[in-house]
Amino acid sequence: MTSQDVILGILMKRSLSGYDIKHMFETIFSYFYNASFGTIYPTLSKMEKEGLLTKESVIQQGRPNKNVYSITEEGQKHFKAYMYSPIQTNEFKSDAMTRLFFGEFIEVEVIIEYLENGVTSTKEDLERLRKMYENGKSNSLMSQTQELCIQIGIENMESTLRTLMAGIERLSNLKVEEGQNESG
Amino acid sequence: MTSQDVILGILMKRSLSGYDIKHMFETIFSYFYNASFGTIYPTLSKMEKEGLLTKESVIQQGRPNKNVYSITEEGQKHFKAYMYSPIQTNEFKSDAMTRLFFGEFIEVEVIIEYLENGVTSTKEDLERLRKMYENGKSNSLMSQTQELCIQIGIENMESTLRTLMAGIERLSNLKVEEGQNESG
DNA sequence: ACAGGCATGTAATCGGTTACATGATTGT
DNA sequence: ACAATCATGTAACCGATTACATGCCTGT
């Protein structure tokens, strides 16, 4: 799975500009995919040259022109080929988890701070996801599988949140015990 | 967070070879970090040249020699600098989630197959993690924060599993309804 | 005879990010 | 006056993977 596959998938439903695609990465895709402009624009140009997409310049009033890309039949073939190819394992690298893992080498307070930041940002992400879910559901903008997708995201975040909060409690108790040992 | 940071962290407790480090990536780190030999070996050499590590060749009986690396004071400084640096957001890219998201463009059966494969592999991963957890706990091999870390992993996988299975059920019902419409 | 584990290493390549460059319009 | 949004694009760089090369020992 590369950005090309994902972009092709996005263009299956409607024609969009690179800027629009970036917006989708930052919203509904945010919890399982992402790509920067530095990837999106060159990928779109490349695919147009290869005949997977066609470009149309759209002149807008009060806004810069934009290049709207549409998927061709050849592009649809490529997308289908991706969808039937062997599935790749998830790529996951977590700085937060890594630091937690090595927590014994620094002060408990710092770890608690990590976890508290984790709680804050997870809560924000969760709120955003829930809003997207409610919004998409009430407007019937989501397919059945997209709904499932977002549910997995929400439930994973909820689970992470629970564990994070339990962790803070446990480490806080640990800190209190340490303090008692020092003074006692 | 780069592989260098993680390798330094691993070497904080004991001296290890590149092969040993790879083994750790494949077991306890597997659910939040990974790196290939093509990253590990060059990184170790580089760090030795920079004085962050020292190398000792260990001759073994009935096995090839190995290079055991130990962290220097300079290396410990670098590791601490990493631990106090601003935390990076998680990197997550999921092929499975992407395909689920685009599920409307292919047959429901294929999506169900994706999900079933997901269930199988998640169950295996979960089993492995639980064994590591029980093992580490009974041998007191884990620090408090490592325990927390593995708990997050286990609970996330459990949550994913639940949602995956609920998804299979929902999509199966959808399939049955489709079949009824066709025949009715 | 052969697979699998132990052990190290390199070269080619890839996919991607970051930072920069440009510039109009809208809202505060 | 200034920040934010809309909009596209490129060059330098980075971190990492894949595949290859090598070779011994153990168990089946």
Question: Which of B53, B84, B115 represents a domain boundary (last residue)?
Answer: B84
Name residues 39-78 of chain B within 8 A of A (Cβ): none
Query: What's residue B80's pLDDT?
Result: 97
What is the percent of chain B where pLDDT is above 70? 98
What pLDDT score does B152 carry? 86
A169, A112 in Cβ contact below 8 A?
Answer: no
In chain B, what residues touch A129 (CB-CB under 8 Å)? none
User: How many beta carbons lie within 10 A of that of residue B22, not counting itself?
Assistant: 18
Which residues fall within 8 angstroms of residue A107, CB to CB, at 6 or more apart?
none
- The residue to which tokens 């770890």 are assigned: A111
Does A76 share its domain with A32? yes
CATH code for the domain in which residue B78 is found: 1.10.10.10
Same domain, B110 and B160: yes
Beta-bridged to residue B16, according to DSSP, are B69
Top residue of A28, A71, A93 to mutate, by most chain B CBs within 10 Å, is A93
B73 in the same domain as B99: no
Are residue B51 and residue B124 in the same domain, yes or no?
no
**Mean per-residue pLDDT, B15-32:** 96
**Gap from A20 CA to D6 C1', in Å?**
10
Last residue of a domain, one of B84, B111, B138: B84
Query: Could you tell me if A100 and B144 are in contact, meaning their C-beta atoms sit under 8 angstroms apart?
Result: no
Cα of B45 vs its chain's centroid, Å: 24
Is B18 within the bounds of a domain?
A: yes
Which of A31-45, A85-99, B164-178 has the largest mean confidence?
Answer: A31-45
* Cβ–Cβ contact A25 with B under 8 A: no
- Tell if A43 CB is < 7 Å from nucleic strand D: no
Within 7 Å of a protein beta carbon, the nucleotides of strand D are 6-12, 15-20, 23-26
Is B89 contained in some domain? no
A40 and A107 assigned to the same domain: no
pLDDT recorded at residue A114:
87
Say yes or no: B16 and B43 in one domain: yes
Question: Does residue A23 fall inside a structural domain?
Answer: yes
Domain of A74, in residue numbers: 3-84
Q: Does A125 touch chain B (CB under 8 A)?
A: no
Place of tokens 């040993």: B20
Q: Out of A29, A106, A160, name the one closest to residue B83 (CB).
A: A106
The answer to whether residue B44 sits within a structural domain is yes
pLDDT digits 0-9 by tens, A113-171: 988 998 998 999 999 999 999 988 888 889 989 998 999 899 888 988 888 898 899 88
Task: Identify the band that residue B184 occupies on the pLDDT scale cut at 50, 70 and 90.
Answer: very low
| C-alpha distance from A171 to closest chain B C-alpha (Å) | 8
B38 touches strand D (CB under 7 A): yes
The reply to whether the CB atom of residue A3 sits less than 7 A from any atom in nucleic acid chain C is yes
Nearest to A117 among B87, B104, B155 (CB): B87
- Whether B30 maps to a domain, the answer reads yes
Q: Look up residue A164 and give its amino acid.
A: L
- Are A131 and A165 part of one and the same domain? yes
pLDDT by residue (tens digit) across A49-70? 999 999 999 998 888 889 999 9
Judge if A137 and A167 occupy the same domain. Answer: yes
Q: Which tokens go with B81?
A: 């600098």
pLDDT at A30: 93
The model's pLDDT over B98-113, given as tens digits with 9 standing for 90+, comes to 999 999 999 999 999 9
In a domain, A89, yes or no: no
Residue A66 exposure: Cα atoms within 13 Å on the Cβ side: 14
pLDDT at A60: 87
Mean pLDDT of chain A: 92
Of A82-91, B38-47, B49-58, where does mean pLDDT reach its minimum? A82-91
CA pseudo-torsion sign B24, B1, A27, A35 = negative
> What single-letter DSSP state applies at residue A184?
-
User: What is the mean pLDDT of the segment spanning B156-173?
Assistant: 87
| C-alpha span between B16 and A100 (Å, rounded) | 21
Domain boundary (B56, B84, B112) is at B84
For residues A152 and A108, state if they share a domain: yes
